[in-house]
C-alpha cells in the first residue's frame, strides 16, 4: 500500500487497495485495515443484487473492496466509533460506491436495522483478548475483544436470511470458539487456513458458513501469502494467488463453491 498525509479533522493517511482501484482514508495513527480486510472481501460469495452486512466495518476497507469487485450490491456497514464511521461514509462517496454506514455497536443495533435481513454478513472482529492494550484508544478498540466473539457471530446470524452466508476472518487460535458459536445455527462450514509462507503454521483462518445449513465441515488447503521461504528483503513477494486477490481484486478461488 502507498500512503500520504492528507488534511482532515483527525490525522489521516490515504491507502491504496486492489492495486490502486480503491483509495481509502484511514487514521494515520492507531488501527488501519490491510490484507485481512481484502481477504475477507474476496471470500464473500455475494453476487450482484445481494444485500451485504459488514459488522465492525471500520473505515470501510472490506465493505468497499467487496463493492469494487461486485457491482450492484446493497451494502451496509456497522461501526461503533463515530469518527471512523464518518471515514467509511467519506470513503464510499469518494470511490463512487453506494454504501450505508450505521453508527452503532454490533450488540445494540438500531431497531430499523434489526428489522432487516441480509443475504451475506462479513466481519473481522477484534483479534486479541482484554490483556495489555495498545496506547492508542482507537487501535485498542479495533484490536482488543471488548465484545465476546460469540456475540459478533450471534449478531450476524440474526440478521441473515435462512441459507444466508456468514464469512469471518480471525486468528487461527480462535477457530474453536468460532465453531462452537456456529454449532446448531449454521452449517456447511468451510475453513480456509491462511499461512504467511509455505510450511508455516496458519496465522489466520477464513471461516464461511450458511445459516441453517446442515452440510459437513470442509477444511481447505492453506492459502499461502508469500512466495519466498523467508522475508529476506524489503520487496513484495506475493504468491500468484495472493497477488490476484490483493492487487487484482479477484475472489478467492477456493470459495467459489459458496455461490451455490
Q: Tens digits of per-residue pLDDT, 173-197?
A: 999 999 999 999 999 999 999 999 9
Top-confidence residue, 48 or 138: 48
Please check whether residue 54 is in contact with residue 122, taking contact to mean a CB–CB distance below 8 angstroms.
yes
pLDDT over 60 at 163, yes or no: yes
Q: What value, to the nearest 5°, has the Cα angle with vertex 68 and ends 161 and 248?
A: 120
pTM comes to 0.87
Sheet holding 22-27, edge to edge: 5-6, 12-17, 22-27
CA dihedral 175, 125, 168, 93 (to 10 degrees): -170
pLDDT over 50 at 150, yes or no: yes
Write the CA distances from 202 to 48, 161, 175, 233, integer angstroms. 32, 31, 11, 22
Grid cell in block for residue 111: 431497531
Percentage with pLDDT > 70 across the chain: 85
Mean per-residue pLDDT of the chain: 89
- Listed residue (149, 171, 132, 141) closest to 79, CA to CA: 141
CB atoms within 10 A of CB 194: 21
Amino acid at each position: 500500500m502507498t500512503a500520504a498525509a492528507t488534511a482532515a479533522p483527525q490525522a489521516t493517511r490515504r491507502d491504496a487497495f486492489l492495486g490502486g482501484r480503491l483509495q481509502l482514508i484511514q487514521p494515520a495513527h492507531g488501527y488501519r485495515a490491510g490484507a485481512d480486510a481484502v481477504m475477507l472481501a474476496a471470500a464473500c460469495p455475494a453476487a450482484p443484487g445481494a444485500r451485504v452486512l459488514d459488522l465492525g466495518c471500520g473505515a470501510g476497507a472490506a465493505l468497499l473492496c467487496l463493492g469494487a469487485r461486485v457491482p450492484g450490491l446493497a451494502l451496509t456497514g456497522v461501526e461503533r466509533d463515530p469518527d471512523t464511521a464518518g471515514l467509511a461514509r467519506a470513503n464510499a462517496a469518494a470511490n463512487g460506491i453506494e454504501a450505508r454506514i450505521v453508527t452503532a455497536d454490533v450488540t445494540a443495533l438500531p431497531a430499523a436495522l434489526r428489522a432487516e435481513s441480509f443475504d451475506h454478513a462479513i466481519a473481522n472482529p477484534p483479534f486479541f483478548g482484554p490483556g495489555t492494550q495498545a496506547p492508542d484508544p482507537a487501535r485498542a478498540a479495533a484490536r482488543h475483544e471488548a465484545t465476546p466473539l460469540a456475540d459478533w457471530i450471534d449478531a450476524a446470524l440474526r440478521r441473515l436470511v435462512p441459507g444466508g452466508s456468514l464469512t469471518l476472518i480471525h486468528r487461527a487460535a480462535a477457530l474453536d470458539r468460532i465453531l462452537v458459536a456456529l454449532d446448531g445455527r449454521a452449517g456447511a462450514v468451510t475453513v480456509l487456513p491462511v499461512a504467511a509462507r509455505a510450511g508455516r503454521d496458519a496465522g489466520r483462518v477464513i471461516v464461511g458458513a450458511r445459516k441453517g445449513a446442515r452440510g459437513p465441515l470442509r477444511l481447505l488447503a492453506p492459502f499461502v501469502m508469500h512466495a519466498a521461504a523467508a522475508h529476506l528483503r524489503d520487496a513484495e513477494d506475493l504468491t500468484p494467488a495472493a497477488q490476484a486477490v490483493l492487487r487484482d481484486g479477484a475472489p478467492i478461488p477456493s470459495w467459489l463453491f459458496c455461490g451455490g
